């Protein structure tokens, strides 16, 4: 027969196992996301997109809004240097983001892009982006980073505004490895 104390101990062990599993899943989320993107070719964060149509559609303007976010306790300041641009589909555009490490240690982060509306992601082609590689900033270091992109002409007519949002996640352990 199981006593109340044994039952409580078993319940605590189960909760501990669930908590450890949840922490492990959260810790592995960014690398897991990257591997899925590599395997499927969707929302690739490690290589430039291929632009299939380079003609500019001067009959239409699209507003691109820029957003920046930090995940967890990443000790950085991260912002776009301009909040929006109006461009023609097919026009090559470059905007700059700025990051600053506000901590006293080297920190490595990886940016993950997202688009609103979601359908816009199929037409938003990044040719150069800080999101293709992990970024390591030394203590107090600031850096400006470009995003060069083209909106392909096939963008649905009802999409007049696109929001490009980047979220930086800290990549644990890489700064320690880089230091020796």
Chain position carrying tokens 């699209």? 62
pTM above 0.75, yes or no: no
Q: What pLDDT does 112 receive? A: 94
CA dihedral sign of residues 60, 84, 164, 56: positive
Domains along the chain? 1-42 (no CATH), 45-179 (2.60.370.10)
Query: What's the burial of 102, exposed, middle or buried (CB within 10 Å: 0-12/13-18/19+)?
Result: middle
Separation of alpha carbons 24 and 74, rounded Å: 18
Q: Which pLDDT tens digits describe the chain residue by residue (180 residues)?
A: 668 877 788 888 888 887 777 777 776 766 766 666 655 555 555 555 555 556 888 899 999 999 999 998 899 999 999 999 999 999 999 999 999 999 999 999 999 999 999 999 999 999 999 999 999 999 999 999 999 999 998 899 999 999 999 999 999 764 444 443
Residue 34 has what pLDDT?
A: 64
Q: What is the number of other CB atoms lying within 10 angstroms of the CB of residue 2?
A: 8
Query: What 3-state class would DSSP assign to 180?
Result: coil
């Amino acid at each position: 027969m199981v006593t109340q104390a044994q039952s409580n101990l078993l319940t605590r062990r189960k909760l501990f196992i669930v908590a450890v599993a949840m922490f492990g899943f959260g810790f592995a989320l960014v690398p897991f996301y990257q591997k899925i993107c590599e395997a499927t070719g969707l929302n690739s964060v490690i290589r430039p997109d291929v632009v299939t149509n380079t003609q500019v559609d001067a009959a239409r303007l699209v507003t691109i809004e820029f957003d920046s976010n930090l995940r967890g306790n990443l000790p950085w300041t991260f912002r776009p240097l301009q909040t929006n641009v109006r461009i023609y589909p097919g026009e090559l555009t470059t905007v700059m983001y700025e990051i600053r490490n506000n901590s006293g240690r080297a920190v490595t982060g990886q940016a993950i892009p997202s688009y609103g509306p979601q359908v816009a992601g199929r037409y938003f082609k990044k040719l150069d982006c800080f999101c293709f590689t992990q970024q390591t900033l030394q203590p107090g270091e600031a850096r400006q980073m470009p995003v060069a992109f083209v909106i392909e002409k096939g963008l649905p007519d009802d999409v007049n505004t696109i929001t490009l949002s980047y979220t930086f996640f800290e990549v644990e352990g890489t700064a320690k490895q880089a230091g020796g």
